[in-house]
Amino acid sequence: MKITSTKDRRKRISLRQRKRISGTAERPRLRVFRSVSHIYVQVIDDATGTTVASAASTEAAVKGQSASGIRGGNVAGAQALGKTIAERLIAKGIKRVVFDRGGYLYHGRIRAVADAAREAGLEF
């Protein structure tokens, strides 16, 4: 795979990570996708290929809990999203996940999602 853009580079890193990361029914994979203005999280069981739970900064439930100045494009919005996905998983009886940063560097909004999910009760 020839790297010609930033998107190609991120895809290559993501594929390299996915060689080692996989989700099971007991410990699904928490996948993060980040765009410029929003952030999306889904929890995937790779054994069956199904999405267990998902959350996005575009959802009304996530927007409703956030105060002014909090949106998907900043760290505060990512923290709200991490808390939301953790609550949804705990309600389904899942406490342990495998974190998949999706080829992004582990800082900023990606780290904020992970830290907020840990604080809300997820283990990874």
Task: Give the model's pLDDT for residue 66.
Answer: 56
For residue 111, give the CATH number of its domain. 3.30.420.100
**For 123, phi and psi rounded to 5 degrees?**
-115, 120
124 found inside a domain: no
Domain assignment of residue 57, yes or no = yes
Q: Say yes or no to pLDDT of 110 above 60.
A: yes
Domain assignment present for 30: yes
Q: How many domains does the chain have?
A: 1
Q: Which of 53, 59, 50, 42 is nearest to 94 (CA)?
A: 53
Contact 27, 49 (CB under 8 A): no
Range of the domain at 102: 6-119
- pLDDT of 81 > 90? The answer is yes
Give the largest Cα separation in the chain, rounded: 43
The answer to the question of residue 27 being in a domain is: yes
Answer yes or no: is pLDDT of 97 > 70.
yes
**What confidence tens digit (pLDDT) does each residue in 37-63 have?**
999 999 999 999 999 999 999 988 777
The per-residue pLDDT for 113 is 97
